[in-house]
Amino acid sequence: MKQAFGLVRRPWGVFYLKHKITGEQKSLKTCDKHEAQRILQAHNESECQPHFNLSLARVYLNGADPKLATRTWQEVMEDVVSKKKDETRRRWAVAIKDRNFDCIRNLSVCETRPEHFDRALADGKVSTNVYLRRIHNHALGMEWLLKSVIPRLQWPRPMFKAKRAITAEEHAAIVQRELNTERRDFYELLWHTGASQTDAACLLAEDVDWNQRTISYSRKKLKGRANIKPALIRFGKEVETILRRRPATGSLFPYLCTVRAGDRATEFHQRCVGLKIKGVSLHSYRYAWAERALKCGYPERFAQQALGHNSKAVHNAYAKHAEVTVPSLDDWEKDWQENPQRSAQPKLLPVDFRSPVAAIAQTN
């Protein structure tokens, strides 16, 4: 059989691989004739015997890892789930049942090509994109993949839905219509503290320090991570009124702490549908708290501690929709010259703990 490649040696001694039909040349980066001939032979064999080479590759792979040639993506998914705990494990168990994964579920990991992943990602579903990337990275980390199926920079960018903060008017309407006292107090506490729905639902009476007038709790999603400070927020009269209505010991929300986060979200969505409010969820309360804090000049480092995260990038993402009027530099500099000690310190503006109706009244 006619060979497709030949060898060319340049004057400086380096051997090049030359395609006899196209004339394309590629450096072999070696001056050793025997090494160049071995590489040439491998290229000619791969051109003439692709099926034989695939079988030969499986033999070598079996020597390194007996399951490397037969492991499927379903096995990779199950391995990921087995290493998760609690709520994260439940979410993963649901995620791997995505119908978009059916086209790769029984596909051998080592034989996966980019077009296989393209079929799974064809509908642009965000959750499929996010979880498939994590599954792919898990296989890479376990060295079950010899190289990336899709290079990191070539992954399609997930298109998230627009997120917004709940407005004071919307919150006031929801609270006014809510007949269940526990659920109404829960929504009020979210408005005043900016806590995530799971953290707020699991609050205990012991988390409240009445002497210092603070609420302190550890974020559920950050459980087990080192060097993460607990969320700490000082409360005012509005929150005090809410807390006085809740149990003095044990869980502040005995019913809500027993249901799944999805059920709490569904109940809130039903209230929004009844009031024809669109585009908000329970997480919108965190966006609202961050935007209110930014608008009134609340120091960012205090807002981070109140929201329970240390990343400025996360806080900036929460507050990116807030509208802030930047003060004149001339006025700021004049104020600093008149009282440099006061201006040098961050202004500790209190969080707006008033009711939404009062806040609207003062704004108007």
CA dist 1 and 181 (Å) reads: 85
CA 32 to chain centre: 51
Cα–Cα distance list, 257 to 16, 175, 254, 277, 294 (Å): 69, 19, 6, 25, 30
- Please state the pTM of the whole predicted model: 0.62
CA dist 122 and 100 (Å) reads: 9
CA dist 98 and 133 (Å) reads: 14
CA dist 288 and 215 (Å) reads: 19
95 contacts: CB under 8 Å, gap ≥ 6: 127, 131
pLDDT in tens, the chain (364 residues): 567 788 888 888 899 988 877 888 888 888 988 888 888 888 877 766 655 565 655 555 555 567 777 889 999 999 999 998 887 888 899 999 999 999 999 998 888 889 999 999 998 899 999 999 999 999 988 888 878 888 888 888 888 877 788 998 999 999 999 899 999 999 999 998 888 888 888 999 898 888 888 888 887 776 666 666 777 788 888 888 999 999 989 999 999 988 888 889 999 999 999 989 888 888 899 888 888 888 777 777 777 777 776 666 566 666 676 665 656 666 666 777 777 655 444 443 343 433 333 333 343 3
